[in-house]
């Protein structure tokens, strides 16, 4: 057993296969990919990496599996050496290996239009990882992990996949606590112990599918997780300066016609360090904005919760603004998220009398949260007044009322 000390979860232990995977190039590369991209330029403590998050997700996957197995009436086999338990831990450990440099900052710029999930699948098919599974997997294969991460058809595997990626998954549980700690904020805190203790597998009566649910006593713990995610998006992930830096980075990549390699071996050579070195040698205004932390200042921002009609009317102004000020002088950010929605794979609550109901109905609090949808306009200092005046003029004409 490999033992690792983690600031969130204490001691994390890895079996021989997990230890070998941790030492493999795809996992070690994540040491040089920050969990929160450019957020460390706003919150100086946010230097943590995708690597530590992967370890935390693996640890939590084992804990959640143990809780589910004990309440699954034979659907899941209990025990540390259970093949399903090892499968879900390996999937949680490897789920982020396809992330590009600076994480989500420019993840849509892969060659061939692939995404980080497809890159994860390609890395799992690499000879190096397949050989580790063959040597140490004891029945567990890289193909099984890839299948679990790709929305499997088997009902039991679909339940396991929700532990790693769903509305109630170990990915969120770990990153909220980890990001909150390293950013020096308290928004990401929630009662992890209570939440895991009240989780159970529930067969949805509408479609007979197994999914993750909670006992009624866990409703407030899940509400706290939703609230934590909501505030981390509004206060950290959608930070005004952080979003500007992401825009400069994306524009630099586009100006340089850069794409993240679709070939796994070439992809592994790209990380925050290598890309930062390229930006430091570039004379692009967008590269300098990131390197020197000199992002365009904010010229205008909408309120945080635009209605669909307000969003449409604001977007109708953008072509005119782009034509007047030029694409290179106007950066547009749209921060949009439904951090409180539990709809894709709905989370059911089992009442004390055995009755089941969706979390949105069980929680008065969640029912009344609304979608985050905010636009921001950034421009060089010399144009801030003009841009603000142009949007203000539209408001005066009633275009945004």
Say which residues have a Cβ less than 8 Å from residue 34's Cβ, sequence separation at least 6. 40, 46, 47, 48, 49, 50, 102, 103, 272
Say which residues have a Cβ less than 8 Å from residue 187's Cβ, sequence separation at least 6. 180, 228, 231, 232, 235, 236
Cα separation, 294 vs 274, in Å, equals 21
**How many residues does this entry show for the chain?**
401
Verify whether residue 53 is a known catalytic residue.
Answer: no
Cα separation, 90 vs 83, in Å, equals 10
Do residues 273 and 30 lie in contact, with contact meaning Cβ atoms separated by under 8 Å? no
What does residue 7 show for φ and ψ, rounded to 5 degrees?
-70, -15
10-14 and 298-301: which strand pairing?
A: unpaired
Do residues 244 and 387 lie in contact, with contact meaning Cβ atoms separated by under 8 Å? no
Which residue of the set 48, 95, 116, 248 is catalytic? 116
What is the set of active-site residues? 116
């Amino acid at each position: 057993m490999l033992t690792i000390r983690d600031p969130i979860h204490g001691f994390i232990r890895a079996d021989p296969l997990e230890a070998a995977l941790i030492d493999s190039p795809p996992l070690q590369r994540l040491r040089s990919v920050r969990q929160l991209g450019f957020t460390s330029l706003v919150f100086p403590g946010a230097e943590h990496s995708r690597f530590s998050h992967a370890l935390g997700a693996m640890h939590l996957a084992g804990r959640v599996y143990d809780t589910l197995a004990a309440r699954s009436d034979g659907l899941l086999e209990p025990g540390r050496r259970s093949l399903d338990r090892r499968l879900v831990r390996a999937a949680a450990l490897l789920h982020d290996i396809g992330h590009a440099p600076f994480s989500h900052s420019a993840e849509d710029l892969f060659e061939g239009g692939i995404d980080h999930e497809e890159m994860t699948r390609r890395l799992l098919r690499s000879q190096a990882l397949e050989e580790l599974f063959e040597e140490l997997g004891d029945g567990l294969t890289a193909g099984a992990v890839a299948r679990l991460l790709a929305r499997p058809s088997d009902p039991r595997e679909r339940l396991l996949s929700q532990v790693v990626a769903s509305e109630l998954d170990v990915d969120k549980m770990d990153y909220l606590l980890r990001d909150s700690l390293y950013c020096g904020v308290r928004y990401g805190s929630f009662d992890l112990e209570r939440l895991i203790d009240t989780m159970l597998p529930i067969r949805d009566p509408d479609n007979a599918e197994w999914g993750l649910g909670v006992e009624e006593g866990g409703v407030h713990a899940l509400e706290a997780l939703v609230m934590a995610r909501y505030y981390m998006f509004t206060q950290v992930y959608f930070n005004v300066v952080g979003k500007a830096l992401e825009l400069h980075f994306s524009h630099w990549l586009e100006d340089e016609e850069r794409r993240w390699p679709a070939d796994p071996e070439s992809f592994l050579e790209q990380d925050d360090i290598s890309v930062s070195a390229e930006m430091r040698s570039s004379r692009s205004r967008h590269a300098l904005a990131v390197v020197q932390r000199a992002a365009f200042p904010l010229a205008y921002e909408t309120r945080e919760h635009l209605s669909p009609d307000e969003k449409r009317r604001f977007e109708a102004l953008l072509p005119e603004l782009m034509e007047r000020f030029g694409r290179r002088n106007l950066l547009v950010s749209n921060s949009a998220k439904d951090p409180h929605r539990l709809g894709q794979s709905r989370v059911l609550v089992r009442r004390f009398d055995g009755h089941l109901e969706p979390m949105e109905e069980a929680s008065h609090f969640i029912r009344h949260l609304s979608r985050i949808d905010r636009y921001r306009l950034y421009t060089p200092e010399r144009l801030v007044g003009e841009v603000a005046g142009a949007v203000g003029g539209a408001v005066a004409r009633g275009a945004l009322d």
